[in-house]
Structure 1
């Protein structure tokens, strides 16, 4: 059980001082690493004994165990409130580091294989659950400018089975597997592969355990100093993939862009 759930469960039975200590823990889950137990006690205005008693009530041996628990939560993608939300310099530094890590560790062979597969697929299905779905939508919008038969799933109200049906040899299923995936994620990847489609998997390091099940694996970190994961580097990778597909498709891609641009003008869809 997460620490916030433990606090919520025990909160009604805590004394006033323990509730103050619990409130302080909840306010500082994202930056507990910068405090020791004595500093946290002073911050909450309670005694060290009260703080220690709270830890035990919550099922932790000591403050070090609490800190390790919160680190594990954040690493799994759980939003943990950070107290440095105004530190834009720290946020920028982390974003730049994510971008650097993404492209320094990117396997050139896997990237080339991914762009060629996306460019040549008969049908292309982009699957993104939860926070990965906006990435799938964005990549679809980019790819549709230079090729057809690109779909994003799961669409609202649809099950993944009916979206995946009909994809097989000559098609590509790209799965965006960023953390806090649904429990059925591995089964979806396996079903796509079993159907004969080429499978491309893109995710943060927590998705490495699925990499062997995919034909192509691209890794992209989403760590952040904030409470929420950042997908800036993932969006940058989507741009690289789309550009690579256009380069592979060459004249066919340029012809489709020209046709789409002409339709934009004919339909008056975009401002001049």
Structure 2
């Protein structure tokens, strides 16, 4: 297993200090090989002993073995941040790897079933997660009705949660650099009785216990800015699975929407 997958798999069993250290590893995954173990411990604000315990908890003998693990990932076609002009072939390979990991998630059919059968669906996202949430909403609304996105620019989400119940689903899109209140939103969403599907990169694993379902989706970050190709691909594959789960009613809705477009001459 990759180091980020190991952290996600063992996160709930880690101590609070080890979780802090793990969060630092995830935030600096591209550059881990440039640090010493002591520097990582200082960066995380934990002791060197805590950092060493974390390495062992993740199945590594020491930090040298972590470095070797990272080298093996690069050797398998998953390059990290590079200096100078980007290598187009390496960048494309990294994007492909991230997309494949996203769209092959084993719980996509289960998530699609929940979304197809829900009374109402609320899709939320903040900052860079908002375009992913909005894209997912725009796809889902083609297959079924009663799908909303939030927060509407300039508004809050409290009013969106009131009235949700056990027959509804909240999809929370939370990629890294989430707003401070993200955890509070998940907790409040859970009190409504609605199923909560969390979609995020490995750094969101700390919030996974507050969700009914956790769909981990990688971000590709070989360049200075994160690429959201994998999240957008996951949104498309998930929506496609929802359309399939909706069956004939979903197909009829798609056709009705197309006919409405044609009558209103809204699209070319």
TM-score, normalised by the number of residues in structure 1: 0.68
Helix, strand or coil at the partner of 2:149 = strand
User: 1:270 offset after TM fit, Å?
Assistant: 1.4
Quickly say closer, same or farther: Cα 1:32–1:152, change in 2 above 3 A: closer
Residue 241 (structure 2) pairs with residue 244 (structure 1):
yes
User: Residue 82 of structure 1: CA displacement?
Assistant: 5.7
Contact 1:168/1:196 (<8 A) preserved: yes
**Contact 1:200–1:215 (CA under 8 A) maintained in structure 2:** yes
Residue pair 1:124, 1:174 contacting (<8 A) in 2 also: yes
2:119 corresponding residue in structure 1: 122
How far has the Cα of 1:212 moved from its partner? 1.6
Is residue 85–residue 226 contact of structure 1 (8 Å, CA) maintained in 2?
no
Provide Cα deviations, 1:207-253, integer angstroms capped at 9, x if missing partner: 11211211111111103110111111111111111111111111100
In the alignment, the residues of structure 2 paired with residue 258 and residue 201 of structure 1 have an alpha-carbon distance, to the nearest angstrom, of: 30
8 Å contact from structure 2 (residues 137, 148) kept in 1 = yes
State the shift of 1:66 in Å: 11
Structure 1 partner of 2:153 = 156
SS of the equivalent of 1:145 reads helix
| Secondary structure, counterpart of 1:130 in structure 2 | coil
Corresponding residue SS for 1:228: coil
Q: CA deviation at 1:67?
A: 8.4
Match runs of 1:196-211 below 5 Å: 196-211=193-208
Change in Cα spacing, 1:159 to 1:91, as seen in structure 2 (3 Å) is same
1:263 aligns with 2:255: no
SS state of the match for residue 173, structure 1?
strand
- Look up the match of 2:88: 88
CA contact (8 A) 1:164 1:192 kept: yes
Q: Does 1:146 align with 2:143?
A: yes
Alpha-carbon deviations, 1:71-112, whole Å to 9, x = none? 99xxxxxxxx963343222211211121233345x22xx222
Unaligned ranges ≥5, structure 2? 1-29, 45-80
State the distance in 2 between where 1:64 and 1:85 align.
27
Structure 1 residue runs of 4+, over 6 Å off?
A: 31-35
Are the structure 2 counterparts of residues 34 and 242 from structure 1 closer, same or farther at C-alpha, using a change threshold of 3 Å?
A: closer
Could you tell me whether the CA contact under 8 Å between 2:196 and 2:211 is conserved in 1? yes
TM-score, with length taken from structure 2: 0.69
SS in structure 2 at match of 1:182: coil
CA contact (8 A) 1:84 1:226 kept: no
Q: How does 1:8-157 map to 2 (within 5 A)?
A: 83-104=83-104, 106-107=105-106, 110-157=107-154
1:166: which partner in 2? 163
2:122, 2:171 within 8 Å by CA — same for their partners in 1?
yes
Q: Report if aligned partners of 1:167, 1:197 keep a CA contact under 8 Å in 2.
A: yes
Aligned residues: 204
**Gaps (5+ residues) in structure 1?**
1-30, 36-62, 73-80
